[in-house]
Structure 1
Amino acid sequence: MALTQGTSAGAILELVRSGQVRTRRELQDLTGISRSTLSLRMSQLVGAGYLREAGQVAGATGRPARILSFDEAGQLVLAVDLGATHAHLAVIDAGGQIIAEASSEIKIDAGPDEVLRNVTKRLFELLSRSNRHLSEVAGVGVGIPGPVRFSTQRPNQPPLMPGWHDHPVAERLSDSLGVPVFVDNDANLMGLGEMRERHPSSPSVLFVKVGTGIGAGVILRGEPERGISGGAGDIGHIRMVGDEYTRQCTCGAIGCLATEASGGAIARTLKESGTSVESTSDVARLLAAGDAHAIETVTRAGRLLGDVLATSVALLNPEVLVLGGAITATGDYFLNAVRDSIFARTVPLATRELVITTSGLGSDAAVHGARHMVIEQTFSAEAVDGRLAAVG
């Protein structure tokens, strides 16, 4: 049955991008659009560099039908993954090919002016190094380690980021680069990247980033669930119950999960006991050497996180739970402790079909999530139609 709407150039591009149609004939059959109107729409899309026609449909009878495809290689995304102490930047095309990437140490608590100035400089350097031009960039995707009010594209009371609340991150970078910029919580982008690239058929994925802090990305029906103010998944600030939880969190509260179970908390606990530890990689080294205190500390942290995640699993009943962030470098001790705690504290119905695993994309999870976010925002039907109308 032909559709009665959705025949704009932008809507046609979405049909091709999503794989629902491959040829002009399939477009006509699905939309009911006339040949002359389709020819006009195709001329707009091909002329703008969004679509191309190449190859032929295998086994086609009569006049060979040319295959329509979104020009993935010609659309670049600049991806920025900001952590509390690191920045991971990449030039990646719409098809997922990473063209160039770089990492550097930063201090997110230095404030937005210094961090964004550095990010802008590094992005220009990456483009130059990859011999690509800003005119090829569809947009920039930025992940930050704190809540983001997606409707305004601004950080919303991020505990690890003093001075960043309500800062116009997207506007600042867009003014400097001259391209659209989109901002989201880093765990959301990691979850989106992991789901789209590793678990595309899963209806629900819960991604948990364990690094300096702890955050979760809840991906439902292929899209992040952000909550009203960007606070969905902010599990690192759930309060632990018990007199033994006395540490003050960066948010000002006492006994938050992140103060006991994050990678930073694990390293701090070991260091306070006299062990030479500066980072999660040092913790991984101790575990590999069979250090009993390190094993005990990591296992305790995993169980505490699993206690909290058991409630999330019971509430959401996800198909996949992915652990990511620096903690994955510690091997199976943390993962097994999380798994044991979840299974011990939930009914079999909630976990019978649950897969608990570590990130398959590793440090590139947020990069791919940023790519998907930018492409979906800049190549939505509304956005494409608006740009085509603007150029006449």
Structure 2
Amino acid sequence: MTGISSAAAPPPTPWRPDDGPGRILELITTGQARTRSGIARLTGLSRSTVGQRLDSLFEADLVREGDVTASSRGRPSRSIHLNGAAGAVIAVDIGESRTRVAVTDLHANVLADSVEPLAVGDGPRALLDRVTATVREVIEEAEAGDKPVAGIGFGLPAPVDYEAGRVLGWSVMSGWDNYDIRGHLHETWQVPILIDNDVNLLTLAEHRRFWSDRQNLLYIKAGTGVGSGMVIGGHVHRGAQGAAGDIGHAHINGFGDPQCRCGNQGCLEALVGGWALARDLRDVQEGDDARHVVDRVRRGDSHAIAALRRAGRVLGESVAHATSLLNPDVIVLGGMLSTTGDHLMAGVREVVYQRSLPLATRQLQIAPTGYKSHAGITGAALLVRDHVLSPAVLDVALAAGSQPFLRP
């Protein structure tokens, strides 16, 4: 699994004369400047001042100089890059029935991971305790026990209040509503803990790795459930309370009003979610999630193929509305149901181009996800990296003379 290059980070804010080492690191990780002379030209700082601020980053082992020199106005200059080995990130991607736990470096390269049958139905205390035990096993497997831990990133299949780090409102995570996940984990891990909706993390990973040059992206996850994530102006958009992108539980007219898992009727998920398709196909074969549907499609089951194609057209209706509202540069289709070739994608494309105005679709790209695995883990790792290396957080740690990351 290839990690995320340093150049694929968010665009930096304008330089200010009083900005510290954290802003210098941001220029390096975003690829805006990767040599001492380049940093001096971009910031207007003298080479000696640039050197002083870089010294703080070198002392914290956050940056390294490369062996290959780069030409800069006729003067050779060593390139400077983020040291991915400076810290480890614990990344956790919790699903409805399985949980992936990984340890990554600061470039989001997976050092070791494990997929465990840890289901959200086990409840928060039991699942989080088992995740903690699994993390220790994965750290040992990665031989990363002596590495400082930068933080923990968590992805959850539920609406998440990002600031509070809690599940809020109805979700498939029964018993998790308002549970203090961060507080529970802090009993063991005294490190920054970032918690977000799983689709936001998929969106973050997809945008950084494949579409970092696009400012507006809509990601659709079509799996057992249905959700979406948005990048607006180059940054993940979560909304006022973290509920942005809950497309699966928006009512859609014209297709009947089947009962949804959330208690409402006529939700998009109740029409095209993997569990809904499995429900409609149950007269042919048992199955209750997206994996069962996909297995049948791959075996050439005509009933399952027809159901998935219909689902693509229904999903396209909602995506068309979102296209008109958001005017994205690119729409990415991911999730288990999207792994069966063009059966789902064809219907989405057909309806979006039919229903949306030409101005919104003139340069629009609709593409399948570029990930085959680890997208949620990558997003969780990037979420942590963005936080701990942000100038506001990093400068405080460096000014206090402390190491930015903690030993486990």
Q: TM-score, normalized by length of structure 2?
A: 0.89
My pick for the range that moved more, 29-38 or 333-342, is 29-38
Structure 1 residue runs of 4 or more that deviate by more than 6 Å after TM superposition: none
Deviation, structure 1 residue 324: 1.1
Task: Identify the match of residue 59 of structure 2 among 41, 47, 69.
Answer: 47
Task: Identify the match of residue 210 of structure 1 among 219, 222, 227.
Answer: 222
Letter in 2 for 1:80: V
Task: Identify the match of residue 398 of structure 2 among 363, 388, 391.
Answer: 388
From the superposition, tell whether residues 390 and 290 of structure 1 become closer, same or farther in structure 2 (CA, over 3 Å): same
From the superposition, tell whether residues 6 and 217 of structure 1 become closer, same or farther in structure 2 (CA, over 3 Å): farther
* Alpha carbons 2:203, 2:229 under 8 Å: kept: yes
Letter in 2 for 1:126: V
State the alpha-carbon separation in 1 of the partners of residues 38 and 244 from structure 2.
40
Give structure 2 stretches of 5+ with no counterpart.
Answer: 1-13, 403-408
Instruction: State the match for 1:172 in structure 2.
Output: 184
My pick for the range that moved more, 231-240 or 326-335, is 326-335
State the alpha-carbon separation in 2 of the partners of residues 179 and 96 from structure 1.
17
Task: Identify the match of residue 264 of structure 1 among 275, 286, 305.
Answer: 275
From the superposition, tell whether residues 338 and 64 of structure 1 become closer, same or farther in structure 2 (CA, over 3 Å): closer
* Alpha carbons 2:258, 2:271 under 8 Å: kept: no
* Alpha carbons 1:155, 1:166 under 8 Å: kept: yes
State the alpha-carbon separation in 2 of the partners of residues 250 and 134 from structure 1.
45
Percent identity over the alignment is 36
Instruction: State the match for 1:241 in structure 2.
Output: 253
Letter in 1 for 2:269: A
Instruction: State the match for 1:186 in structure 2.
Output: 198
Q: Matches of residues 50-199 of structure 1 in structure 2 within 5 Å?
A: 50-59=62-71, 64-133=76-145, 135-199=147-211
From the superposition, tell whether residues 62 and 213 of structure 1 become closer, same or farther in structure 2 (CA, over 3 Å): closer
* Alpha carbons 2:87, 2:148 under 8 Å: kept: yes
Deviation, structure 1 residue 55: 2.2
My pick for the range that moved more, 227-236 or 66-75, is 66-75
Deviation, structure 1 residue 70: 1.2
Letter in 2 for 1:267: A
My pick for the range that moved more, 375-384 or 300-309, is 300-309
Letter in 2 for 1:191: T
Instruction: State the match for 1:252 in structure 2.
Output: 263
Q: Deviations over 1:324-368 (max 9, x none)?
A: 111123332111122222222222222222221221113321122
State the alpha-carbon separation in 2 of the partners of residues 346 and 32 from structure 1.
46
State the alpha-carbon separation in 1 of the partners of residues 168 and 17 from structure 2.
38
Task: Identify the match of residue 366 of structure 2 among 336, 350, 356.
Answer: 356
SS in 2 for 1:241: coil
Letter in 1 for 2:60: A
Deviation, structure 1 residue 288: 3.4
State the alpha-carbon separation in 1 of the partners of residues 70 and 350 from structure 2.
50
Deviation, structure 1 residue 258: 1.0
SS in 2 for 1:296: helix
Deviation, structure 1 residue 190: 0.3
* Alpha carbons 2:222, 2:334 under 8 Å: kept: yes
Q: Deviations over 1:230-249 (max 9, x none)?
A: 110001111233583231x2
* Alpha carbons 1:127, 1:134 under 8 Å: kept: no
Task: Identify the match of residue 297 of structure 2 among 287, 291, 296.
Answer: 287
Q: TM-score, normalized by length of structure 1?
A: 0.92
My pick for the range that moved more, 207-216 or 186-195, is 207-216
Give structure 1 stretches of 5+ with no counterpart.
Answer: none
Q: Are 1:321 and 2:331 matched, yes or no?
A: yes
From the superposition, tell whether residues 279 and 373 of structure 1 become closer, same or farther in structure 2 (CA, over 3 Å): same
